[in-house]
């Protein structure tokens, strides 16, 4: 498989990119025209479908250069991770959350994601050695029990990115605007707190407040934020 995609880009230098933690393998392809990124792994088809869907929405995403069942090759998005650009991140979150959810074919509502969480515990896919401090040492069963106990009764449904960490949003340092959103394999209709929780988990100090102010702080529920941090432990 790997050979297959490599043979389509034989003149590029393939350099592994190691930042990711999903178990996907990502390579940077340079030295022959525009820089490209090649990603492989079992979840690539889901990501490709979502990237295709996003392409028509006005949300900036990388162009697809090639894809098959195992590989997704995209054009490089210029820019730097959005860690220090909370207002740009907020604009992006607002734009995404304003898309008409009824037109989004991907479902990440709690019935779906909690089923998947249970399946991932059963299959041993949850990284129990890499939990947030408050869950350190917890078993999969204990995490699941807590997930059930704290499940919100309401879901404020919007189109969510699903892994809205600042390093999945790139910003043009000259303009301060979002140049592209990547890593969209978990995009789908979900409670907006699913995205807000992951952004706010990473944006420490004043950056979290700046994000919330730009996003619209009135809409945030602390209990749901905590719940969606817990839910993310399973993925």
Ligand X SMILES: Nc1ncnc2c1ncn2[C@@H]1O[C@H](COP(=O)(O)OP(=O)(O)OP(=O)(O)O)[C@@H](O)[C@H]1O
Binding positions for ligand X, rule: CB under 6 A: 17, 19-22, 24, 26, 37, 39, 62, 74, 76-77, 163, 167-168, 182-183
CB 168 → Mg ion: shortest distance, Å? 5
Does residue 163 carry a catalytic annotation?
A: yes
* 25 annotated as ligand-binding: no
Strands 36-40 and 80-81: unpaired
Strands 36-40 and 25-30: antiparallel
- What is the chain's alpha carbon radius of gyration, rounded to the nearest angstrom? 18
Q: Which residue is nearest to ligand X (CB)?
A: 20
For ligand X, the closer of residues 24 and 95 by Cβ is 24
Helix (H) or strand (E) holding 210: helix 206-215
Roughly what angle, to the nearest 10 degrees, separates helices 110-122 and 222-232?
40
**Residue 39 interacting entry, from Mg ion, ligand X, none, C-beta within 5 to 8 Å by type:** ligand X
CB 235 → ligand X: shortest distance, Å? 8
* 168 annotated as ligand-binding: yes
Helix (H) or strand (E) holding 190: strand 188-191
Measured CA to CA, the distance from residue 95 to residue 3 in angstroms comes to: 39
**Residue 143 interacting entry, from ligand X, Mg ion, none, C-beta within 5 to 8 Å by type:** none
Catalytic residues: 163
Q: Which residues bind Mg ion (CB under 5 A)?
A: 168, 183
């Amino acid at each position: 498989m790997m050979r297959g995609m490599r043979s389509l880009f034989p003149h590029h230098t393939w350099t592994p990119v190691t930042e990711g933690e999903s178990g996907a393998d990502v390579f940077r392809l340079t030295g022959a025209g525009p820089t490209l990124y090649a990603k492989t792994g079992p979840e690539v088809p889901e990501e490709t479908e979502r990237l295709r869907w996003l392409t028509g929405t006005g949300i900036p995403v990388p162009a697809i250069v090639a894809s098959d069942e195992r590989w997704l090759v995209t054009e490089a998005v210029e820019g730097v991770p959005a860690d220090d650009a909370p207002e740009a991140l907020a604009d992006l979150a607002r734009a995404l959350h304003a898309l008409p959810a009824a037109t989004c074919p991907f479902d990440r509502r709690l019935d779906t994601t909690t089923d998947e969480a249970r399946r991932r515990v059963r299959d041993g896919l949850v990284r129990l050695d890499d939990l947030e401090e408050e869950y350190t040492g917890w078993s999969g069963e204990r995490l699941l029990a807590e997930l059930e106990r704290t499940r919100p009764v309401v879901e404020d449904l919007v189109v969510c990115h699903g892994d809205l960490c600042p390093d999945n949003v790139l910003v043009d340092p000259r303009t301060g605007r979002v140049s592209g959103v990547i890593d969209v394999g978990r995009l789908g209709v979900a409670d907006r707190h699913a995205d807000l929780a992951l952004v706010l988990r990473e944006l420490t100090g004043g950056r979290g407040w700046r994000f919330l102010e730009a996003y619209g702080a009135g809409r945030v529920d602390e209990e749901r934020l905590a719940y969606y941090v817990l839910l993310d432990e399973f993925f």
